[in-house]
Every structure is written in C-alpha cells, then in structure tokens.
Structure 1
Amino acid sequence: MKNLIKTLTLSMVAIATFNSCQEFEDDYLEGPAISTIADNVIFANPDLAQGAVDGVIEIIAHTNSYRGRHIPFYGFNTDVEWNYNSSSVGNSSGELVIYDAKPNNGQMDRDNSSWNEIYIGIERANKCIEGIRTFGTEEPGTELGRLLGVALTYRAVFYSDLIKAWGDVPARFEPINSETLYIAKTSRDTIYKQIIADLKIASDLVPWPNEDSKTTTVERINKAFVKGLRARIALSACGYQQYPNDGVRRSNDPDLSVQKMYKIALDECRDVINSGTVGLEPTFEGVWRKLNEENIIVGGESLWEMPFSDGRGRVNFSFAVRHRMVDQNTGQARGGIAGPLPTVFYDFDEDDTRRDITAVPYEWSTQIGEVPSPDPTKDSNVAFTQQTLAGLNRWYFGKYRYEWMNRYVTSDNDDGINRLYMRYAEILLMAAEAANELEGPAAGAVYLKELRRRAFPAELHAEKVDDYVNALSSKQAMFNAIVDEHKFEFTGEMERKQALIRWNLLGEKLREAKEKMRNLRDRTGEYADVPTTLYYRYLDNDYTELDEDDETIVIYGLNRGETVNPGGDYIAQDWTNLPENEINSLFLEGVDPDTRQFWPIWQTFIAASNGKLVNDYGY
C-alpha cells in the first residue's frame, strides 16, 4: 500500500493560506504564533522535523490544488495532446487549454485553487528551511541535513510549476511577516537563479536512491531526482519564454546564458547516468504497468512521484483509457478527459513499441453481460464491458489504465494513482540535447541511442537506432530529432508544452498540428495511405464464460496500407470522423499561442493583493 504523507506537526498550524490577507492578519499577526513557540523543539528533532517537511507536500491532495485542477489542466493543448473540453464553446475547463483563459475562469478563480495551494506549500517549506537552519543542522550525512534538502527541493518544485503556469510570480523565500504580507511579482530570472542554487545545496544533502532507508521509494526525494530537476529548470531558465511587454525571448541575465545553463544540465544528467542508481525499465510498457500497479520501489525509471493515497488524486480519473460505466475493471466510470491528437499514432514508426502504449483507439463501453463486483464491500453485480472503437477524433492515453491496476477503485472521483513527475528517460533526452548544444551531435548520439534501443526490437537496432542516429550529422539535425523523440517518449505526460515554449516552437507546432489533422482527415500529404476503414473483432465471441478474451478487441486497418477487408468475423467501422470545429479548437482561432503562454493570475488574488498584483500579456 502506498504511503501518502499526511502528518502535520504543530508548526503547520500557524501557516498562512493566502486566500485572505485580512484573515492572515487577524488570525496570525495579532497574537503569539504557535509555530514560533515550538520551532526550537520541532526543528532540532529529526522525527518532528520529518513530520513538518512531510506537511509541505500535503497540499497536492487538496481538492482544487494539484489533485483536481493543476494536474488535469496544466500542459494542454500541444502538438501531441489535447483536452476534450476544448471544443465545448464557453466551457470554463476548455478556456484553460485553448489559450483563452480569463482571470475570472470558473474552474480557477476561487480562493483555494492551485495558485493559493502552491503558495501554502511554499510557506510551509520556508518555515521548515528557516527552522532547520536556525535550530537544526545543514551538515551532509545528517537526518536534519537530508530534511533541509527535501524542503529545498519541494520549494523548487513549487516555484518551477508556478513559473511554467504564470511566468513572473511573487517570490517568497522567507516566512511571511507583517512587512511582506503584500508583495509584487518578481522577475522569474531571480527565482530561477535562487532555486537552481537551492537545488545544488539539496543535491549535497539528499542521498542517492537506496543509499539511505529514506530513499527507497519513489515517493521520497532522492539525489537523482534533485539533479534531474535542476537540469530541467536550467534548460527552462535559458530557454525562450514570453516576457511582459517584451515578447518571446531568452533571458538577458548573463547568469542564465545558454552556455552556463546547458553546462549545468549536462553535468547533472551525467552525474545521474554515471551513478548507476536508476535506469530505463526493460520495456516501455513496464514503466506504466509499474505506475498503475503502484509499484513505488526506487531504482528503476521513476525518479519521483507526487504521492496520493487511495482516496485522493485524479490521474487515472482524468487521463486513463475511458470507461463509460462501472465495470469489471473499475468502480468509477471515468478517465478520458484528454488524449493524444489523432495524428500522433500515425507519426510513430510502426515498429516503435511506444506507439500502442501511447495512443489507444478504444474505450470500454459495450456491455455484454454481468459479473460479481470486485469491490469486496458490495454483494452485487457490475457490467462486463468490452473494448469498443471510439473514433478517429477520440484517442486515449494508454499510459494510464484502470485495467492495469492491482486495486479495484471504489471512490467516486479519486483513484490514488501517483503523478509520475520525472523519469530517467528525460535524463537521457536532456543529456542528448545539452551534449549536442555544447559538444556536437556525436556527443548527444550516445544518449539518444540508449533511449531508442528500448523503443525498438533488438533485431531492428542496426537500422532504427544506429543508422538513424548516425545520420544526424549536424547540430540542427540532432536537435530536430530530439524534438521528435520527445513527442514519441512523453506524449500524455504533459511535459510537451514547457518544452515547446523553451524551444520557441509552441505557436509553430500548434499551427502545424492543425494542418496535420486536416491532412489526416482528408487523407492527403503524409497521411495519404492511412486507411479510412477499420475492421475489428474480439479474441473470443463466445460469451458463455466471460473472460479476458471476450473483452479484448483485435483491430485491422490501423497501420498504413491495411486497406483490404480481412473477411471472416471482422466488422467494418468508418475511420474518418474528425470535425473541423474540433481541429480548430486546439487553440482559439485568431489567437497566437505565443502571446498566451501563461495563465492569468486569477481575479480573486488580484483583488486581495492590496494593489500589488497585476496581469500582463494583455489579460
């Protein structure tokens, strides 16, 4: 059973929630703060300090925090992923993903949305960092030193997510007091430099995976993740991004130059690679089976996961292959609010083992009988459903599947699956990108080859790995291949948007994606040989004893050129439904996504800021 970190110590009682500055003044500045009285006890004691640091990450499970708002909506839409609320005109969820968010957005303009909750986490981290430095120790090899490194890392996670979503944000690196209650936004360059420096300190304090009893699960911070996060943030810090009144550009700060930041990224990634403490799973499918099976043992591909208990978290609830009813696989009829663009499947090499895991063309929706409920608390039957073709315009992320879970989900709206925040494949791809930039394509090739070896069968390595990568003889050719590889590796993980922004490709790739979908719809250009009809049957059409063969669909016609009716008991289905209004909904017509790279600060927080906060970017 996974361990959601819930314990809050006495020091957490006095932490501000930011949803009302007046409430903070009334409740916490008028009398003695409970946490101040207790800090010298809490942060000098490793066991008590552990509880306080665990409390930092507890905010992810709050209803409108990462759990119910940030994870389901941040990162859409891209050239590979879209949220199916996009085409619903006036839908408040859709506005968040089509580059048309308003400050009064119905999903987010509330005092407990993710903006607020992330700052709660930051304040908790600030209390822990100050407390350990004042009353504990910063010495490497000590438990309090490790906890300081964990708190610094949590704070860096929160700030990096704030910057990705909002650009410049208020910077708080010390606990709030009466003089800092209301502050303006800080340049993200300043924040980048602080958290990059913090993560250098943290990497010296936090043990490697399995080096310590506290780094044996992917729910605990370890050195491999700290270094990987520092690399990711360094690449973002020197990358392209939209600045207020200044358009899209790189940072002008010499401390955040491409040369310096790529050097940090390459050094950190090579440290992780050379450590031998983590590595690729033997198969791509294995990565996602482990996630869905809630296997949290560290040392494989997952570097860190945001932990959710069984009754919290909406990863599968949001992104799993869609189940239209309670059935033999899940006690909640959910999943499928988003999926890969219909072009993604056809952009893969047909021999790439990542394809069928990444893009799934079916949902669970046809009932063919009933079976006893797998829920041990219920003495009843549930529907037995089959995999059913969804339509060219509705694909699902096969990385998230109720049917791969070892546990039958019984909650109405939570599934307990962790958010996989970083994995080793990203270390390899960042290393390839940084090495290519600093040392040339031959230096990047070794890392790209390692990633592709896992993707293709061994008998195809000579052609699909060695020949393919060796042909990338220029820096630009290698970079272009890395951009493509990122698509094939990370579709459905909502990392693509930030990557496209820092590569200065967001608007270009989104416009290209619309044209590609039109080409697929019309079967022209690169999709001229994609079949217009699919043929399907089931492994077993005898429903006398319902089992896995009765639910499993067999499809012919997904591969290019598969146009001949296979006959037999196959059933034909049209595969052309891709309406223009849905294609157009990838981003709001008439809006340049490069002018809407960030969400606006929600009106609730603008109004409560005492005039300190304003929206930029024309909001």
Structure 2
Amino acid sequence: MQIKSFYNRVILSSLVMTTIFLVSCKKFLNQMPITSYGTNVVFSDVPHAYQALAGVYAQLSGDQGYGIRLSLYYTVDNDETQGPTGNPDNDRRDIARYQATPGNAQLNSPFQQLFRGIEFANICIYNIPNMSQYNNGTDQEKKELQRMLGEALTLRAQFYFEAIRNWGDLPADFQPASQVAGANPFPVRVNRDSLYDRILADLKTAEDLVPWRNDLASIGDPIDERITKGTVKGLRARIALFRGGYSLRNTSGVMERSADYLTYYQMAHDECNDIITSGQHNLNPSFKNLFKNYVCARAVSDPDGELMFQVSAVGANGTADSKLGYYDGPTVNGNGNKAINILPTYFYLFDSTDLRRDVTCAPYIVNADGITKTGQTITAINDGKYRRDWISNPVISPNDKTQYLGLKWQILRYSDVLLMFAETENELNGPTAAAYNAINMVRRRGYGKPINTPNAAVDLPAGLSKSDFFNAIVKERSLELGGEGVRKFDLIRWNLINTVLTNTKNALAAMSNSSGIYANLPKSMYYYKTATGDDYTIWANSLYKPAPSATPANTTKITWVSSAISTTALARFATGFTPNKSELLPIPQPARDANYNLTQNPGY
C-alpha cells in the first residue's frame, strides 16, 4: 500500500460505487481502472477499501477543491493579499471583493464537491466497520481498517469545516445517500454549532483510530500525505477555535459567539498540547527551506513533520492537480497569471530582518532565461510561497505552458499548532511562560535564530497584558501564515474583519500619500539588470530608506511607493465588504434550485 502521491476518482450512483480509479505515482499519473463494483465488493477486502478511501481524499483536489478555488479564490481579500485586477465579472474577482451573488459562476461546483466528499466519506464510514476483517481479520487488517475509518471521519470533518466557514448553517449529512435519500430528499439547514459538535466528536473518535506519524511503520505504512494522529488533533483544535469563535448567525443576522466559548478554547488547547508534548512534529529550522525545498519540491513528507496536512496534486489536469504557482506567484517567461497580489501594507508589516518576508512576498518576475529577475512595483508583488521558479523534482522549463504544476496546498502546519496553543493559553490563563515559549519558537525560526534558544532580539517582550499578547498573536499569525488561506477566516472568528479591512484601507491611503509611518519609504527602487536572487538581493537600494538621487550602476529604476497605490491596490480592495453579510458567501442558486429547503444567507 505504499504511495507517494495518490488520487482516486469515484463516481457514485445513488446506491453503489460504480467506478473507482486509484492513482499511485511518483512523478506521473498512472490510472488503474476497476470495473463497476457494488459496495459489497468494494468493501470486501483491505486493498479495495483503501481505494475507496483514496477516492475520498481525491475530493480535496482539483480546480473545484484546493487546487485553486477553495485555496485562492475564496481566501482573499484580507489584510495580506488581494485578488485579481479587472472589472466586476460575476466570477472570481467579485468573490475576492465581497461582491458575489448567488448566481456567481464559481460558487456551485466547489459547494457540490465538498458535499460529494462528505458523501464519499459517509460511504466509507458506513461500510468499513461492517467489513468482516474489521473485527475478525488479522491484526494487520484490523489496524489498517481502523486507520482508514479514522481518516474518513477526519476527511468528512474537513469537508464540513470548509463548507461551514464559507456558507454557515448547512444540512446535516452523516449517512450515505442510499440510506436516507428516500426519507429526506430535501434536507433543511441546521445550526452550525450542532454540525461543529458532531465533527468535533467524530475527530475525537478518529484520534483513537489513526496512528501517530512515527508509529506508521508498525502497521506497515510509509510516511506520506495520508492523515496521522497529529493531523486529526490539529484539525480538531482548529475547528474548536471556530466553534468557540464568532460567526454570522442566520437567526439574528449579526456576528455572535456562544456563551460557552471557553469550553472550545480548552478543547483546542488540550489538542495542541498533546501534539507539542508528543514530539512527533517539529519546525523545520529554515522557513525558506520548508517552502522552497519541500513544498515547491513537491515532497510527499518532510523530515520534521511540519507539513501536517497536504492536499495531493498530480496528473496535470483540472480534476486531480492544482494551479498553485501558476494562478499565483511570479510569472516565468510570461507563463502564469500573477492573480494574487501582496498588499503593500502587508509587505511593510514585516520587520526588515524577518526572513519570512522574502518567502511570503515575491517582488519580481522571472525572465525568458528562467534565471534573471525583473523587479516589480510595490502594487504588483506576488505571494511567494508557491512559486514556479522554485519548483523542482523536476524543474519546470521556462517555456513549459502547463498550468498544472503539482504543488500541494498546505492545510495545516506545525507552526499553526504552536500559535493556536499560544492563543488558547493566553485566553484561558493569560500570557504564561508556555504561551510565550510557543509563539517565540515561531518567531525565532522566522528570524533565522535557533528555535529553542531564548533570544531577546526577537522574542516578545516580557510583561505583556493579556490583550497586548492577543494582539501579538493576531500579528504573528499573519507573518507566519500569510498567503496560506488562513487569515480571512481568522479575522472572522475573532470578529475583527470589518475593523481590519477598514484599517487596511486607511493604511493604503496613508502609504499612497507617503504620510505617517510610511513617510520615509523609497519612492523608487532599483533592481540589478543581472539579478538572479529570489530575495532582497535583487535590489540595489534599501527598502526602508529614501531612494538615492542617482541611479546605481547596472540597475533599472521602477516606481515604488507612490499615489498609484490609491488607484491600483486600494481601488479594488474589498470594495463590496458589508458587515453582517460578507462574512459568509451566498448559498449557490443552483443548490437552492435543487433543494427548496435551502434558505439564503443574510443580506443576499
């Protein structure tokens, strides 16, 4: 059962799995079609059950999943990144600007794919425990099937979580359609709290079924992209924070959190603490190496276990692969969309010595030779964690026109676990030494310092109040997780999104006028004509001081901080955001047409 990248496409009729494809590959897509089977055959032995599970994993991938829409269309605009330029389009631009309508062309297919993933998971969850091998097989068979059941429960939780944070209340769908369709063909939406409570309970069950990363060898499985216990616990912590956070309520039409929210902060705290004390996961010592040498090298795992939940991407197609590094990131020889831009104010949120800036932000495009760089103005900086020019294993030619690059979307990293622990510890007990240690480990790595050694130059100052420590967490999560699809939803669960978007617009206006804290930034930057670096070394002058009056030798001048910020970045940034509406997307109209019991979200 060893796999390096896997993909399985499953097509279901109302009663049976009719077609299953399992892809097991290293670099290329190899399809192994299996003829039409009913569930009694598919779940007759461990290998076939595994193929069905791989079909559940598959619903994470592709254009309608984390290959582009869930990862890049739905996660901007926030105070880090903004979506594509251009006029309103009833499409991706309108989603980024909080102007989506129920008929937006990019809503229904991702909505349907998430519920298809839930249905495929339901089929596995229903059938795997009923297999004879589950209770009566060999020890190996029982361990494998227990792991698969835990994975299916976890995947269902992830699909539901993604759907809830985008659309709010949804139908409860926890059995295969074949078991309930006749009795309840048009299910109503239920309160998201009950859905969260159900998937949190499911994840607690899954924890006891799925092994730790370092225990996989004992059941004969490799370390790869499959879910392990740390992933289950980390996802449960994340979902608990959303259960305890604010959300836009269908009943009241305003942002609210439950009175017992601290119960869920405690749950998240305990899960993060379990992961930290397990020793199963660690930070990669180098933030840049993590993304350049593992994420962009399309690695199936990293030795530190920091990449806790990756979405497989293979096959160079819209069903199984991703457009990460093509839709976003710098172009190479004109190939790519450059559709996600770093906000100028976010670029300058980073301290000048924070090494994460030049990983998260890529202020260049790559020329036709695939090596030299052309510097870009501050309003055209791209997000940089998924870069075509960093891709290896193998390297992609500058002349290659493919849009599918095999990069894996990162759903959960260990640094997020540390920051969630710091947040919950502060909320429950104040800024304790344990909270400081967790956030400072992340900060030290960000500045290139030894992770476990206190460093007064980069550690947070002692003696912060609870509120000041929370504000530090808000900032640190942005610096660490920028461009990873986390920020917008963090701001919503904290009930800060309206305030932060407003403050960001004001900051962009101030920067365009070179006023306040932005008064001494350079109005021009000069990049070396022969620059080959992928960081600040492409520039001949400082990013933090006024530009020199004379052009440095062998450089080209570009406009940097100017009034153009108002007419470019600011002019299209979150223009349609409306409090107590835009925190949720509209329910897609085709879904409502198919089920008349699906009510619409507030304001749409």
The residue that corresponds to 1:595 in the other structure is 581
**Partners of 1:189 and 1:251 within 8 A in 2:** no
The residue that corresponds to 1:380 in the other structure is none
The residue that corresponds to 2:128 in the other structure is 132
Provide, for residues 361-389 of structure 1, a one-character-per-residue CA deviation record: whole Å limited to 9, x for no partner.
1112x44xxxxxxxxxxxxxxx5563112
Higher mean alpha-carbon deviation, 591-600 vs 475-484, is at 591-600
Secondary structure, aligned partner of 1:422: strand
1:220 pairs with 2:230: no
**Partners of 1:218 and 1:302 within 8 A in 2:** no
Please list, as runs of the form range in 1=range in 2, the aligned pairs for 1:229-308 lying within 5 A after superposition. Answer: 229-252=235-258, 257-289=260-292, 290-298=294-302, 299-308=304-313
Give how far 1:121 is off.
1.0
Please list, as runs of the form range in 1=range in 2, the aligned pairs for 1:32-111 lying within 5 A after superposition. Answer: 38-39=39-40, 41-85=41-85, 87-90=86-89, 92-109=91-108
The residue that corresponds to 1:571 in the other structure is 556
In the aligned structure 2, how far is the partner of 1:3 from the partner of 1:553? 35
In the aligned structure 2, how far is the partner of 1:157 from the partner of 1:138? 27
1:475 pairs with 2:475: no
In the aligned structure 2, how far is the partner of 1:532 from the partner of 1:83? 24
Give how far 1:593 is off.
4.2
In the aligned structure 1, how far is the partner of 2:329 from the partner of 2:522? 26
**Partners of 1:9 and 1:48 within 8 A in 2:** no
1:492 pairs with 2:495: no
Equivalent of 1:518 in 489, 504, 509: 509
In the aligned structure 2, how far is the partner of 1:291 from the partner of 1:604? 36
Normalising by structure 2, we get a TM-score of 0.87
Distance 1:200-1:148 versus aligned 2 partners, 3 A rule = same
Provide, for residues 161-198 of structure 1, a one-character-per-residue CA deviation record: whole Å limited to 9, x for no partner.
00111111112000112112221111111100000000
The residue that corresponds to 2:119 in the other structure is 123
Task: Note the residue ranges of structure 1 that are not aligned, 5 or more in a row.
Answer: 18-33, 326-332, 368-382, 541-547
**Partners of 1:219 and 1:307 within 8 A in 2:** yes
In the aligned structure 2, how far is the partner of 1:292 from the partner of 1:204? 33
**Partners of 2:343 and 2:569 within 8 A in 1:** no
Distance 1:356-1:475 versus aligned 2 partners, 3 A rule = same
Distance 1:582-1:539 versus aligned 2 partners, 3 A rule = closer
Provide, for residues 299-358 of structure 1, a one-character-per-residue CA deviation record: whole Å limited to 9, x for no partner.
431001010114121111222222352xxxxxxx11421022111121111111111111
Normalising by structure 1, we get a TM-score of 0.85
Letter aligned with residue 97 of structure 1? A
The residue that corresponds to 1:463 in the other structure is 456
Secondary structure, aligned partner of 1:193: helix
Secondary structure, aligned partner of 1:148: helix
- CA RMSD for the aligned pairs? 2.7
**Partners of 1:310 and 1:415 within 8 A in 2:** no
Letter aligned with residue 285 of structure 2? P
Secondary structure, aligned partner of 2:326: helix
Task: Note the residue ranges of structure 2 that are not aligned, 5 or more in a row.
Answer: 20-35
Please list, as runs of the form range in 1=range in 2, the aligned pairs for 1:56-455 lying within 5 A after superposition. Answer: 56-85=56-85, 87-90=86-89, 92-109=91-108, 113-136=109-132, 137=134, 142-176=143-177, 177-213=181-217, 216-252=222-258, 257-289=260-292, 290-298=294-302, 299-311=304-316, 312-325=321-334, 333-364=335-366, 366-367=367-368, 386-406=372-392, 407-409=394-396, 410=400, 412-442=402-432, 443-455=434-446
Give how far 1:491 is off.
1.0
Letter aligned with residue 49 of structure 2? A
Give how far 1:99 is off.
1.1
Secondary structure, aligned partner of 1:99: coil
Give how far 1:250 is off.
3.5
Provide, for residues 458-494 of structure 1, a one-character-per-residue CA deviation record: whole Å limited to 9, x for no partner.
499633333x33142x110100000000111111111
Where do 4+ consecutive residues of structure 1 move more than 6 Å?
9-13, 138-141, 549-553
Secondary structure, aligned partner of 1:89: coil
**Partners of 1:216 and 1:297 within 8 A in 2:** no
In the aligned structure 1, how far is the partner of 2:15 from the partner of 2:187? 23
Provide, for residues 503-530 of structure 1, a one-character-per-residue CA deviation record: whole Å limited to 9, x for no partner.
1100100011111111111111121111
In the aligned structure 2, how far is the partner of 1:417 from the partner of 1:423? 16
In the aligned structure 1, how far is the partner of 2:523 from the partner of 2:126? 62
In the aligned structure 2, how far is the partner of 1:138 from the partner of 1:560? 65
In the aligned structure 2, how far is the partner of 1:174 from the partner of 1:411? 43
**Partners of 2:354 and 2:446 within 8 A in 1:** yes
Distance 1:144-1:10 versus aligned 2 partners, 3 A rule = farther
In the aligned structure 2, how far is the partner of 1:452 from the partner of 1:551? 19
1:584 pairs with 2:571: yes
**Partners of 2:585 and 2:601 within 8 A in 1:** no
Secondary structure, aligned partner of 1:388: strand
In the aligned structure 2, how far is the partner of 1:567 from the partner of 1:306? 45
**Partners of 2:308 and 2:413 within 8 A in 1:** yes
Give how far 1:119 is off.
0.9
Distance 1:90-1:45 versus aligned 2 partners, 3 A rule = closer
Letter aligned with residue 555 of structure 2? Y
In the aligned structure 1, how far is the partner of 2:144 from the partner of 2:448? 44
Secondary structure, aligned partner of 1:451: helix
Secondary structure, aligned partner of 1:421: strand
1:617 pairs with 2:580: no
In the aligned structure 2, how far is the partner of 1:563 from the partner of 1:72? 34
Letter aligned with residue 574 of structure 1? T
Secondary structure, aligned partner of 1:573: strand
Distance 1:426-1:167 versus aligned 2 partners, 3 A rule = same
Give how far 1:554 is off.
2.2
In the aligned structure 2, how far is the partner of 1:354 from the partner of 1:552? 12
Give how far 1:64 is off.
3.2
In the aligned structure 2, how far is the partner of 1:426 from the partner of 1:55? 28
The residue that corresponds to 1:371 in the other structure is none
Percentage of matched positions with identical amino acids: 31
Letter aligned with residue 495 of structure 1? V
Distance 1:154-1:506 versus aligned 2 partners, 3 A rule = same
Distance 1:551-1:560 versus aligned 2 partners, 3 A rule = closer
In the aligned structure 1, how far is the partner of 2:536 from the partner of 2:428? 48
Alignment size in residue pairs? 560
Secondary structure, aligned partner of 2:102: coil
Distance 1:261-1:524 versus aligned 2 partners, 3 A rule = same
1:605 pairs with 2:595: no
Distance 1:578-1:215 versus aligned 2 partners, 3 A rule = farther
Give how far 1:408 is off.
3.8
